[in-house]
Amino acid sequence: MQTASDLWQAVLGEIELSLSRGNFITWFKNTVLLKQDDERIIIGVPNIFIKQQLERKYNDLIIETLRKNGTNVGQVEYKIHTALTPVREEEAAVLRPSPGASTAHATPAKPQATGLTHAYRQGLNERYTFDNFIVGSGNELAYAACQAVAAQPGTKYNPLFLYGGVGIGKTHLMQAVGNTVLAGNSQARVVYISSEQFLQEFVDALRFKKNTDFADFYRGADVLIVDDIQFIAGKEKVQEEFFHTFNALHQASRQIIISSDKPPRDIPTLEERLRSRFVWGMSIDMQTPDFETRCAILQTKAHNHGITLPTDVTEYLANNVQTNIRELEGALNQLLAFCEMRALDPNLGIASSLLGSAQTRPKHISAKQIIERTARHFQIPIEDILGPKRDKDIVVPRQVAMYMLRSELHLSFPKIARELGRKDHTTAIHSIEKIEKESRLDADIRSAITSIKDKLYA
């Protein structure tokens, strides 16, 4: 006889075929059939949002598929079932066998760290996968396009151009393409690079007269992913180099994926010939995920920490951090860390007191305000921060100011350098990295940053 679990597996198998993979994983992956009798079937689901989504959107499909599998029920109920703890994200990334791997073991065939293959997978972070990306309105189309590209690089949307605001998953999706391609073929040459890094390598290549190596490296890619292309706008030489790289790859049917904060037509100093290349393929406008999706993201991430977030807390967070998923994750992590240290369960009171100060922040602060505030905090004249002096008690404030311009205003490195009167943007890169590192180790730096921020947003 067919067991309940066999039945549900059969139903899931069929539903999987009729939905996008992302939707299937988000809404159906962690469901079980809890109970079945003549009148009704009870499906266990991990959280309230999945429950609501299944009730509202997928109920008919589920009933219909059950019927096709010989089970005619009057009613399906969805019940939150907390034992459904999914594998943690990190573990999942390690345990999940890669699609192309022929081995029956759970250990995926890691790309061998030899010669080119190794060099070519630089820049990819295995944390970013399709499976841990929550699909919803705003990112559905980008998700589908990225999956199509990952399945057959170079054949469909080429180039694939993703654009949209900060922290909405562009990098995550592009990296997921790279990781999926490599999982299918460990020899694939996948190159992920931010356009700032491209710029810097190009400059170094010119300086050290290695430009042919540079060109060969990028033109040898099977999949080239260039993140945040807006940063090379206005840089003639590097745009030209990129243009040639683009043409060489495109002609050879190699996949190119590009992201930006705006559509190509709105990047004012993007060279016309590059702009026209970008419209050859497919451009996708990524939007901030809607409320439901933000709730699902929170629930999933909390679940990965072994915590079920109360509905009011989830909704509170999703309502208060609307545009940036990175900030949404940050708010959640802050809450979970706070509660863990004090052995408390997350509740609305804690969430609102933690988020309260952040919430009243005005939208617009200027670069000038940041630099002024930093100078004042360290009690040095603003001219010193902007000037040439290299004493330690001036260099550190200057580095903190650069860090804040990046973290608060997301300015590009060249822009940050200019704001502080420097010519070389690599100084900005190094300074920001240094402060990032130090703020993890050094409580003084951390408290300086917090106190400057508090005053800025007060």
What x/- string results for residues 320 through 349 when contact with ligand ADP is judged by CB under 6 A? -----xx--x--------------------
Q: Are the C-beta atoms of 431 and 403 separated by less than 8 Å?
A: yes
Task: Please tell me the distance from the alpha carbon of residue 410 to that of residue 367, in angstroms, as a whole number.
Answer: 10
The window from 86-94, 164-172, 280-288, 447-455 that contacts Mg ion (CB under 5 A) reads 164-172
305 binds ligand ADP (CB under 6 A): no
- Supply the minimum distance, in Å, between the C-beta of residue 143 and ligand ADP: 8
Place of tokens 């250990």: 107
Give the one residue of 30, 31, 53, 171 binding Mg ion; rule: CB under 5 A. Answer: 171
Tell me the Cα Rg of the chain.
25
- Supply the minimum distance, in Å, between the C-beta of residue 256 and ligand ADP: 17
- Taking the least distance from each CB to Mg ion, the nearer of 163 and 378 is 163
Q: Please choose which of Mg ion, ligand ADP, none residue 329 contacts, taking the beta carbon within 5 to 8 angstroms, the exact cut-off set by kind.
A: ligand ADP
3-state secondary structure of 223: strand
Size of the site for Mg ion (CB under 5 A): 2
- Taking the least distance from each CB to ligand ADP, the nearer of 51 and 170 is 170
Place of tokens 């999982």: 183
Tokens matching residue 318: 């999703």
* Distance (Å) of CA 398 to CA 18, 376, 435, 456: 56, 12, 10, 17
The residues, any chain, with a CB within 8 Å of residue 24's CB and separated by 6 or more, are: 15, 16
Q: Please choose which of Mg ion, ligand ADP, none residue 434 contacts, taking the beta carbon within 5 to 8 angstroms, the exact cut-off set by kind.
A: none
The window from 44-52, 83-91, 161-169, 372-380 that contacts ligand ADP (CB under 6 A) reads 161-169
Q: Please choose which of ligand ADP, Mg ion, none residue 221 contacts, taking the beta carbon within 5 to 8 angstroms, the exact cut-off set by kind.
A: none
3-state secondary structure of 102: coil
The window from 110-118, 166-174, 236-244, 333-341 that contacts ligand ADP (CB under 6 A) reads 166-174
DSSP letters spanning 119-188: HHTTT--TT--STTPPP-TTTHHHHHHHHHHHHSTTTSSSSEEEE-STTSSHHHHHHHHHHHHHHH-TT-
153 binds ligand ADP (CB under 6 A): no
170 binds ligand ADP (CB under 6 A): yes
3-state secondary structure of 74: coil
Beta bridge partners of 257: 160, 225
Give the one residue of 44, 108, 169, 397 binding ligand ADP; rule: CB under 6 A. Answer: 169
Q: Are the C-beta atoms of 256 and 160 separated by less than 8 Å?
A: yes
Residues 221-280 that bind Mg ion (CB under 5 A): none
- Supply the minimum distance, in Å, between the C-beta of residue 89 and ligand ADP: 9
Q: What angle do CA 108, 114, 120 make, to 5 degrees?
A: 85
Residue 88 DSSP class: P
User: Quick one: which of 231, 225, 226, 163 has its CA closest to 196?
Assistant: 231
Q: Please choose which of ligand ADP, Mg ion, none residue 134 contacts, taking the beta carbon within 5 to 8 angstroms, the exact cut-off set by kind.
A: ligand ADP
Give the one residue of 172, 235, 250, 425 binding ligand ADP; rule: CB under 6 A. Answer: 172
- Taking the least distance from each CB to ligand ADP, the nearer of 93 and 400 is 93
Q: Please choose which of Mg ion, ligand ADP, none residue 325 contacts, taking the beta carbon within 5 to 8 angstroms, the exact cut-off set by kind.
A: ligand ADP
- Residues 11-19: contacts with CB under 8 Å, at least 24 apart: 11/62, 11/65, 11/66, 11/69, 14/65, 14/68, 14/69, 15/58, 15/61, 15/62, 15/65, 18/61
Residue of minimal Cβ distance to ligand ADP: 169
Q: Please choose which of ligand ADP, Mg ion, none residue 396 contacts, taking the beta carbon within 5 to 8 angstroms, the exact cut-off set by kind.
A: none
- Taking the least distance from each CB to Mg ion, the nearer of 167 and 346 is 167
What x/- string results for residues 112 through 151 when contact with ligand ADP is judged by CB under 6 A? ---------------------xx----x------------
The contact set with ligand ADP (CB under 6 A) reads: 133-134, 139, 166-172, 289, 297, 325-326, 329
The contact set with Mg ion (CB under 5 A) reads: 170-171
